[in-house]
Homo-oligomer: A and B are copies of this chain.
Amino acid sequence: MLVTFINLLRKTHNKYFSKERHFVERLDNVLGFTPVHVQLFKIAFYHKSTINNSLQTEKKNHVLQSNERLEYLGDALLSFVVGEYLFNKYIQADEGFLTKMRSKIVKRKMLNFLAEQMGLDRILMEFNQANLSPSMMGNALEALIGAIYLEKGFIYTRKYILNELVKKYINIHSLENFDDNYKSQLLEWCQKNTKEIDFRVISKSKNDKRDRFRIGVYIDGVEVATAEDFNKKSAEQVAAEIALTQIQS
């Protein structure tokens, strides 16, 4: 009872009197509620490049960690909630189908799309001087989910994810038949058209202590597309996707 009253006071302060009220208003529009812990939600929008450039060192470590920590929390919760949703929706489906469907929903590209639909880009732009990269969007969404969980608990966040993200912006049925395995699509096309296809590692470099691969797609010996990523499979997928658009155009 006392806690509820104190939280009400804090929300009123956050919304009308704090110097963060502009941010709180934007958040309120996205979330549908006024947060008690504004600092938590601010962290969700801080990208590490911004922190490295602008904050004092003493603040730096704390905020930097917290930002990626929220992503870690939100990412795992999103996986579970989406997984449970699919489990209940497809009561006859096997584990393989459920896993594939989930990965189509929680993959980076979809999260970036969802974050854009929600208008997170506008909030992100206010917090970060650097240009927005697509992955900053998806990361902010994951961190935001982590923050909502810490503020509101499981039941609320689960409902939020399902109603405000999954059901609002994703056409689940069209995802069922959506084939995002571009490499296998390309292999199939080459087989049908009796072309020889080859994926080659063009170069391997170190980036931030991690291996980074540049992969080329060669059709009948001619380089059709290249792509880079931290693992070969992802780079092959991107290269194959580009190659497919080249072929179809």
Contact = CB atoms under 8 A, between A and B. Distances in A.
Interface residues on A, range: 20 to 34
A65 B94 contact: yes
A76 interface: yes
Contact of A84 (B73, B79, B87): B73
A49 interface: no
**Chain A interface secondary structure, helix, strand, loop or mixed?**
helix
B95 A68 contact: yes
Interface string A77-110: 1011001100100001111001100000000000
Contacts of A87: 69, 72-73
Interface in A110-165: 154-155, 158
Across the A-B interface, the 9 shortest Cβ-Cβ residue pairs: A68-B95, A76-B80, A76-B83, A72-B95, A80-B80, A154-B154, A65-B94, A73-B87, A76-B79
